[in-house]
Amino acid sequence: MANYPKLISYKEALHILDSIPIEPLGTQQVHFKNALNRILAQDVKAPCNVPAYPTAAMDGYAIMFEDLELLSTQGLTILPPNKAGNPTRPTLQKAHAIKTFTGSVMPLNADTLVIVEHITHKDDKIFLNAPLDSIRKSQWIRQVGDNYKENEILLHKGDKIGAFEVGLLAELNQSFVQVYQKAKVGILCVGDEIIEVGQDSPHQNVVRSVNTHLLESLLLQMGQEPIIYPIIKDDKEMIKTAYIQALKECDMFLTTGGMSAGDYDYTQEIMQELSQIHFKGVRLKPGKPVAFGVANKTLILGLPGFPNSCAVTFLLFGTSLLARLQNRIHKPPHTEATFEATLLEECKRSDSRLEFRACEVFSHNGKLSVSFAKKKSLQSSMVNNLTHNTALAILEENGSDLPKGAVVQVMFLHHLI
């Protein structure tokens, strides 16, 4: 009998994933516009101070603070305006003001900006129409380095590049960045009952290949490179052939189905034959039959066949493995993005396993609450339970029924992607 941990706790499984040696993928240089959803393999530093000079944050009049009382009583004479993008920096003279627009470099000698709403024009002068004590020195002025200072680290190695990061790279004039290579992740669906989307069947006892396309979409959202293998029937030799091919081609290999104890669940037998299994079975709902192994450098996750179980176990375990492949600092999903929420109805427990139960989350007066009322009871098989910004309520192992008003931890699925 194979000697590897079986039916372990969720924390034990995470410890195994964190402790086995995993060599990070290589890196490559890409244009910043092609870097969306990629993982940085370098720190990105500010090349200079921004702003480089004191800069107006509002439309107003640049003055010397010492002239504030004069502005209130006798008025200040207006000099030519200072538009954003001026090639030269004007010089302010005493007892004068320069109209200065948002984004303009402040004139030399100016240390205060009075916004246009606080100014009244009379003849060829401007006057303050607000209380003196409402105007402060340096008000509405962005100082040198307020955005960031030269050599400040703005993006860290291991950060995921989103739309805002692309915008920052554009501002930094950083045409190219070094990123980790995308993980090549194979997906293999196994089962006589599975047919492809669009395929006709002579009978009704079939299910569509949901897991293939669900996992592919999750991986694409994560910036990885999914490789889809054809659906395999419950044929041991065919499964083994596909397995061997995937182990040659992939950094990570995901199989779905064939991980339980049925007569035709060959996938786990082949996984045992071709890889070193590090655990099989986790006291988890959904996802109890999940398995993890390694063949050479390929990381293998044997996922359950039901869509919800498949998706949740991939998010709980696969994201940790992908993070390590791309050298990211990654906290366990159940600790990284959880929030407290109050139950809107009683929560019945029928299982002693740690449970990640699909739920709806509502916000009222800044507080979160949770309901299971619109979620189907057969959580593992119903992919519609995970739509519409669903969250997962974390129900502790060996826990009992929870009354209405009890506080639980919830985890938003989109935080894991």
How far CA 33 is from CA of 104, 227, 372, in Å, comes to: 28, 24, 41
Given this model, what pLDDT does residue 329 score?
73
How far CA 278 is from CA of 81, 97, 240, 303, in Å, comes to: 71, 74, 19, 14
Choose between 94 and 375: higher pLDDT: 94
What average pLDDT score do residues 379-403 get? 83
At 323, the pLDDT band (50, 70, 90 cuts) reads very high
Asked whether 37 and 222 are in contact (CB, 8 A), the reply is yes
Q: Is the pLDDT of residue 317 over 70?
A: yes
Which of 3.30.70.141, 2.160.20.10, 2.170.190.11, 3.30.470.20 is the CATH number of 55-142? Answer: 2.170.190.11
DSSP state of 121: E
Averaged pLDDT score across all residues of the chain: 91
What average pLDDT score do residues 130-153 get? 96
38-49+147-179: CATH number: 3.90.105.10
CATH 3.40.980.10 fits 6-26+182-326, yes or no: yes
The DSSP line for 130-199 is S-GGG--TTTTEEPTTSSB-TT-EEE-TT-B--HHHHHHHHHTT--EEEEEPPPEEEEEEB-TTEE-TT-
Q: Where in the chain is the domain with CATH 2.170.190.11?
A: 55-142
Which of 2.40.340.10, 2.130.10.10, 3.30.70.141, 1.20.140.10 is the CATH number of 338-415? Answer: 2.40.340.10
Q: Where in the chain is the domain with CATH 3.40.980.10?
A: 6-26+182-326
Q: Give residue-wise pLDDT tens across range 116-130.
A: 999 999 988 999 999
Given this model, what pLDDT does residue 384 score?
79
Q: Give residue-wise pLDDT tens across range 211-248.
A: 999 999 999 999 999 999 999 988 899 999 999 999 99
What average pLDDT score do residues 330-359 get? 86
DSSP state of 107: P
Q: Give residue-wise pLDDT tens across range 21-70.
A: 999 999 999 999 999 999 999 999 999 999 999 999 999 999 999 999 99
pTM of the model: 0.86
DSSP state of 216: H
Given this model, what pLDDT does residue 43 score?
97
Q: Give residue-wise pLDDT tens across range 159-168.
A: 999 999 999 9
- Tell me what percent of the residues of the chain surpass a pLDDT of 90: 76
Q: Give residue-wise pLDDT tens across range 60-111.
A: 999 999 999 999 999 999 999 999 988 899 999 999 999 999 999 999 999 9
Q: Where in the chain is the domain with CATH 2.40.340.10?
A: 338-415
